[in-house]
Amino acid sequence: MSADTDVQLLRRQGRIVVVGASLAGLRAAETLREQGFTGSLTMIGDEPYEPYDRPPLSKQALLGRAQPEDTALPRRRDIDAEWRLGVAAESLDRDAKQVRLTNGDTVPYDRLLITTGTRARPWFHPEEAALDGVFVLRTRDDSARLRRKLTGGVSRVLVIGAGFTGSEVASACRELGLEVTVAERGPAPLVGALGGVIGAVADRLQRKHGVDLRCGVSVTALEGDDVGRLRRAHLSDGSALDVEVAVVSLGAMRNTEWLAGSGVAAGPRGVACDAGCRVFDVNGIVTDDIYAAGDVARSPHPLFDYQFLALEHWGNAVEQAEIAAHNMICAGPDRRPHLWLPMFWSSQFGVNIKSVGVPSLGDQLVVAQGALAAERFVAVYGYRGRVIAAASFDGAKWLGFYEQQIASGAPFPPEYRTVDRRTETLHPIDPAFPDPHLPTHGATVTLTGHSPSGRRVSFIPSHA
Amino acid sequence: MTSGTLSAQITDYANRADPYPLYAELRKQPVRREDDGTFLVSTYYEVRNLANDPRLSNDTSNRPPGYGRPGQPPPESGLPPSFIFTDPPVHDRLRETITRPFGPPHSPRFLDGLRGELAKVVTELLDAFEGRDEVDIVEDFAYPLPVTAICKVLGVPREDEPRFHGWADALASGVDPQAGGGSGQEKAQRARQDLGAYLTDLIETKRRHPGPGILSALAPEMTPADLEATAVLLLVAGHETTVNAITNTTLTLLRHPDILDRFLKDPDLAVPLIEEVLRYESPVQFVPWTTALDDIDVAGTTIPKGSPVWLMLAAANRDPKRFKNPDRFDPDRKDNEHLGMYTGIHYCFGAPLARIELHLAVPELFRRVKFSRLLQDPPPYRANAVLRGPRHLPVAIEGLTA
């Protein structure tokens, strides 16, 4: 009896359960079938819809250029799965090897893949959050509801939080001709993800497009009228704002509550797994039958000091899912590591923003191409003398080059001549990331420390 | 084969019909220095990386004295280079301005709106096959369509289109490195002047009386010289490349009867099939107008600052490290990320137009025409090594359906 025989048996007639039926779950399922898995496959999703694409929900869907219901993800192949949609997983029993659903059903597994992703962080005050006119934006339904509201004759929208989602919502509102106020606790938009130097460019961009941007200010209360409709927002500077719509864009929360008590290393920062996507238990011992991928997973990355990274990135979800699926049905030596370089994009105020690497790790920054003042540039981030990240405004096509610079540990600052270099020498400056102890909500790369076990973390130098 | 002779052999007309053995030879040394200090890069990943490398310039005035500077008008002419021969930020400003009336996000329907007129041209060209048992796919079919398309894009009056055909022909030969100083170059210069004079008038007319096409939209946005250079570029780059793509698709299908049979039964095969032609017979075989702005280490070789660099797209598209059985024409190829339309910031501006033309022309050609055989294989080729394609493609046909 060898491990190889077990794997063969698993591939033929094993039971694989995927909890989380979105991008990562779907791509994993497709990879399993692609690689010859013929056993049973169960897809569990708390939303009633088959997997759909989220990036358009804060962009084209709000503008009416795409319908939220038309965002179903294209299928690479038939996956022959049993779909359990509209019912969430409630708990995990590792001893019995089964997942319990909120409707009381139990689903047994030989291999489990956790792709439960994240949800929008709700407004902290539940009664205020329930007011008519208070929105979050994460799901298809969120997007459809918000679109209806925005096109239903409102005049002013308050966006709470100027991370990527908040900024995209503000951009869409301006394009729809609505007055927008953005309240951001930090010193500038996008500051958590890209730092204050680039944040200042985003700041200018918003104001140029007519956004009433208020930084260094937080919303302290949302006030409703006597029939429960939002009518006013109160800000920390003592001012108040008459608004009918508030979009709460305070980042995401990882869907790990259902794993509480299961003994796997899951917590608010995600589900800890190794580079092969195998989930750790609370003792830091790797399991061999439970895997994680996508926004909910956090895994160590050699390029970033082996810190555990949690990435809310579309491309990461796809690749990590493919690797998790591959590793689930392989014997040890055939397994592959997930070493994806963080990468994400955004589209707002007519500008394409893209980033590779982990900007928030940067201790220095140079503008390698273009100029901040032109709102068209590539900024390169350095960390202890090597290139660690790059971010571009309308310069995305260059980032493949900088990605290779990061992967090869190229020295910082870059000293070569390039096209569109505006200064004879590049002068590194402080990228101005906010104090990591202060919570912001712009980051989509989260450094979550070194420990595999959520319980043992005493200090986490998180920029998110 | 001795070192330093490969670029001469590639541009040698004797090798035009089948340059692929030379490209295979070239790939043995992915980055190869020619005797004059020019570097030829021929493998897929190296070409792709360099095309996306900000240390590589498309502005040949960055070359040291003594090297050719394709794309740069003589300083005394006072003319600007077209945007393909510029770097950011000039390049980005021009390309963005020109994209505004041409494609998304501002004009997502512009090209789509040309389909009807272009389909009509295809129908007329094929109707003229009636009663013939022999046609030249180049002269009778592939050649007239792209010039008409560019004229529609620019907004050139229909009656002036024949003059455009002549200019396009003469200008394309100017792109060929071999033609340096020869009669081709002179002819190109003259055509450039005549076309320039014509465009100056047309742009002025469009400025005063806006009509359809991008020249009217751009006249208020750009200097007349920049707009003229742009119009010339669109004509040169959009014409012969598309002629070659249509002709090469026809030639390749007639050489692969099994795939042609499948295509006739399954018109949906057009999409992967046309992409595979762009890989297999790249319309732009190589890009000889880039220059290293700094020392660049590629595949173990340092390309020194100032060196002219040729990116060999057609060789890269047949790199066995990237494409399995690269010399096989295989429309079922998965993940066919060919470099036939280039990559990076200079990715083919007219790619969406070219694809519309190809998808209007090729399926309709094979739907209506019953082919008998190629009358000459290989067919005679044009002199141009960069925009490589048959000068004529004589074929015997058996009939035409409505």
Sign, CA torsion B359/B364/B365/B371: positive
CB–CB contact B89 A376 (8 Å)? yes
Sign, CA torsion A437/A439/A441/A446: positive
Two tokens at B117? Answer: 């007129």
B262-316 confidence digits (pLDDT tens): 999 999 999 999 999 999 999 999 999 999 999 999 999 999 999 999 999 999 9
Per-chain mean pLDDT for chain B: 92
Name the residue of chain B whose CA is nearest to A370's CA: B89
Two tokens at B391? Answer: 């000068």
Does the CB of A433 have a partner CB in chain B at under 8 Å?
Answer: no
- Other beta carbons less than 10 A from residue A390's beta carbon: 28
Tell me the residues of chain A between 359 and 378 that have a Cβ less than 8 Å away from chain B. 368-370, 374, 376, 378
Give the list of residues 6+ apart from residue A370 with CB closer than 8 angstroms, or none. Answer: A376, A377, A378, A393, A395, A420, A422, B88, B89
CA angle B169, B173, B177 (to 5 degrees): 170
CB–CB contact A401 B345 (8 Å)? no
Two tokens at A224? Answer: 């409703």
B285-296 confidence digits (pLDDT tens): 999 999 999 999
Q: What are phi and psi of A362, to 5 degrees?
A: -70, 140
Q: What is the DSSP letter of B302?
A: E
Q: What's residue A5's pLDDT?
A: 77
d(CA A320, CA A312): 12
Does the CB of A408 have a partner CB in chain B at under 8 Å?
Answer: no
d(CA A246, CA A4): 56
Name the residue of chain B whose CA is nearest to A400's CA: B52
Q: What's residue A448's pLDDT?
A: 55
d(CA B276, CA A254): 43
Strands A40-45 and A15-19: parallel
Go through A144-177 and write b for each residue having 16 or more CB atoms within 10 A of its CB, e for each that does not.
Answer: bebbebbeeebeebbbbbbbbbbbbbbbbbbbbe
Entry field: residues in chain A: 464
Residue B242, CA atoms < 13 Å, CB-side half-sphere? 32
d(CA B242, CA B235): 11
Q: What's residue B254's pLDDT?
A: 98
Element (H, E) at A271: strand A270-272
Average pLDDT over residues B57-83: 91
For residue A67, the SS3 value is coil
Q: Which of B53, B57, B92 sits opposite A401 (nearest CB)?
A: B53
d(CA A22, CA A73): 9
Please give the single-letter amino acid code of residue A72.
A
d(CA A338, CA B72): 47
| pLDDT above 50: residue B1 | no
Q: What are phi and psi of A356, to 5 degrees?
A: -125, 155
Two tokens at A457? Answer: 């973390």
d(CA B16, CA B171): 19
Element (H, E) at A42: strand A40-45
pTM of the model: 0.90
CB–CB contact A416 B88 (8 Å)? no
Q: Which of B57, B88, B296 sits opposite A370 (nearest CB)?
A: B88
d(CA A442, CA A353): 13
- Flag whether the ipTM exceeds 0.85: yes
Name the residue of chain A whose CA is nearest to B346's CA: A397
> A401 to chain B: which residues are within 8 Å by CB?
49, 52-54
Q: What's residue B175's pLDDT?
A: 58
CB–CB contact A369 B54 (8 Å)? yes
Two tokens at B231? Answer: 């119009």
d(CA B167, CA B190): 9
CB–CB contact A374 B305 (8 Å)? no
Query: Residue A411: beta bridge partners?
Result: A386
Does the CB of B55 have a partner CB in chain A at under 8 Å?
Answer: yes
> B290 to chain A: which residues are within 8 Å by CB?
none
B117-163 confidence digits (pLDDT tens): 999 999 999 999 999 999 999 999 998 899 889 999 999 988 888 88
Q: Which of B293, B337, B348 to mutate to test the interface with A (most CBs of A within 10 A)?
A: B293
pLDDT above 90 as % of chain B:
80
> B293 to chain A: which residues are within 8 Å by CB?
416-419
Q: What's residue A438's pLDDT?
A: 55
Q: What's residue B79's pLDDT?
A: 86
CB B317 within 8 A of CB B338: yes
For residue A387, the SS3 value is strand
- A53/B79: higher pLDDT: A53
Q: Measure in Å the smallest separation between the Cα of A163 and chain B Cα atoms.
A: 24
Under the phi-then-psi rule, with left for phi > 0, alpha for psi from -120 to 50, and beta for the rest, what region is A238? left
> B92 to chain A: which residues are within 8 Å by CB?
376, 394, 420
Q: What's residue A456's pLDDT?
A: 33
Average pLDDT over residues B252-265: 97
> A394 to chain B: which residues are within 8 Å by CB?
92
d(CA B179, CA B198): 25
Name the residue of chain A whose CA is nearest to B295's CA: A416
Kindly tell me the burial class for residue A20, based on how many C-beta atoms sit within 10 Å of its own C-beta (0-12, 13-18, 19 or more): buried
Q: What's residue B179's pLDDT?
A: 47
Give the list of residues 6+ apart from residue B249 with CB closer than 8 angstroms, or none. Answer: B273, B274, B277, B358, B362
d(CA A434, CA A41): 45
Two tokens at A13? Answer: 């007639």
Give the list of residues 6+ apart from residue A425 with CB closer than 8 angstroms, or none. Answer: none
Helix axes B257-265, B224-255, angle to 10 degrees: 100
d(CA A257, CA B118): 59
CB–CB contact A369 B53 (8 Å)? no
Q: What's residue A436's pLDDT?
A: 66
Give the list of residues 6+ apart from residue B208 with CB closer than 8 angstroms, or none. Answer: none
Q: Which residue has the tokens 């055939």?
A: A334
Task: Give rounded-to-5 percent helix, strand, coil for chain A.
Answer: 25, 30, 40
Two tokens at A87? Answer: 């019912």
Query: Residue B298: beta bridge partners?
Result: B301
Two tokens at A332? Answer: 């040890």
The residues of chain A scoring below 50 in pLDDT are: 1, 441-443, 450-464
For residue A57, the SS3 value is helix
Go through A320-338 and write b for each residue having 16 or more CB atoms within 10 A of its CB, e for each that does not.
Answer: bbbbbbbbbbbeeeebeeb
